[in-house]
Amino acid sequence: MDWPAAALPQWDGITQMKPAWITGANGLIGTYLVQTAPKFGPQWRVRPITRAQFDVLDFDAVEREFKRDRPQLVIHAAAISTVAEAQKNPSLAIRVNVEATKFLAQLAAEIRFVFFSTDIIFDGRKGDYLETDVPRPIHVYGETKLAAEEIVRKNPRHLIVRASLNGGISISRNRGFNEQLWRSLEAGRPMKLFTDEFRCPIFAGETARAVWELAGKNCAGIFHVAGAQKLSRFQIGELLVRRRPEFSGKIVSGLAKEAVGPPRALDASLDISKVQKVLSKPLPGLSQWLAENPLEPF
């Protein structure tokens, strides 16, 4: 799917909006960045970049389109974004997460550039990680994101956003942590959720709001953008199933340290005190957001 022109911010004929790119626009966070641009980034004329237009690995196409559009902001959300996918195909993860990021960051050397990183560049042994803590990735996905961070950090104008679990309604209906849960429970299948793995979940619309504000304030460096509440995977599931009692499937508890598959960071919770001081409205915890938005599709 590609974004229809009618859904995008347009030239208003009076105020000249500045061009901006959002890569990975069909992903979960990319979707909300595009949707919320009129409200939180009204000065930007957004072009959602999707594979239907050109692949971020086609560097000739990327450079051609960049020179044509001359964006003044690039929000780079395109990625191999799951641990399993990166572990299965590390060469592709390196190309997409590292090499494409490097090329875009070079093109955007003189403009604002926002790169999405992740909480799981940390090993999960400590939790409540600050921006100044030393990352120690334990899988290919984390390694590629850290390598990309190191490239982006060389430009003092550029911004790195470390995100946690994001939920919401994606175009493909399978990107948010809530969507994965609903698919399983709607089919009547139990889902095992870990009691010993902790993250800071957040509604993707809140992440988008924060990113638009950080970009608008010309913030640079590293910011942790996540929910204000640390929860286990099982606690997240408990909150969500109360919202959709019609599903027949159930959640069951398990231990991440006993799970098979790629290694898991057990406590990748993020300290978000730095970004909370910058934002005009603080980021909420998941419990608070769910209580305040009972009718929001989630």
Residue 3's pLDDT is what? 63
Residue 11's pLDDT is what? 39
Flag whether 40 is in a domain. yes
Host domain of residue 78: 15-169+202-228+270-284
Q: Is the pLDDT of residue 8 over 60?
A: no
Query: E strands along 205-248, which residues?
Result: 221-225, 231-232
The 10s digit of each residue's pLDDT in 97-139 is 999 999 999 999 999 999 999 999 999 999 999 999 999 999 9
Flag whether 57 is in a domain. yes
Residue 256's pLDDT is what? 94
Judge whether 32 and 208 are in contact, CB under 8 Å: yes
Average pLDDT, the chain: 93
Flag whether 10 is in a domain. no
The 10s digit of each residue's pLDDT in 276-297 is 999 999 999 999 999 999 988 8
Residue 175's pLDDT is what? 84
Structure tokens at 164: 């946690």
Inter-CA distances, 151 with 32, 101, 131, 234, Å = 26, 8, 16, 35
Flag whether 220 is in a domain. yes
Q: Is the pLDDT of residue 187 over 80?
A: yes
β-strand partners of 221 = 159
Domains identified in the chain, total number: 1
Amino acid at position 248, single letter:
S
Judge whether 136 and 122 are in contact, CB under 8 Å: yes
Judge whether 139 and 88 are in contact, CB under 8 Å: no
Flag whether 42 is in a domain. yes
Name the pLDDT band for 2 (thresholds 50, 70, 90): low
Share of the chain above pLDDT 90, in %: 84
Strand 198-199 vs strand 159-163: parallel, antiparallel, or unpaired?
A: unpaired
Flag whether 255 is in a domain. no
Flag whether 44 is in a domain. yes
Read off the CATH number of the domain in which 52 is found. Answer: 3.40.50.720
Residue 9's pLDDT is what? 47
Torsion of CA 7, 175, 121, 194, to 10 degrees: 150
The 10s digit of each residue's pLDDT in 10-47 is 434 345 799 999 999 999 999 999 999 999 999 999 99
What is the pLDDT averaged over residues 247-271?
Answer: 93
The 10s digit of each residue's pLDDT in 132-163 is 999 999 999 999 999 999 999 999 999 999 99
Flag whether 35 is in a domain. yes
The 10s digit of each residue's pLDDT in 68-85 is 999 999 999 999 999 999
The dihedral through the CA atoms of 99, 33, 71, 41 has a sign that is: negative
The 10s digit of each residue's pLDDT in 83-99 is 999 999 999 999 999 99
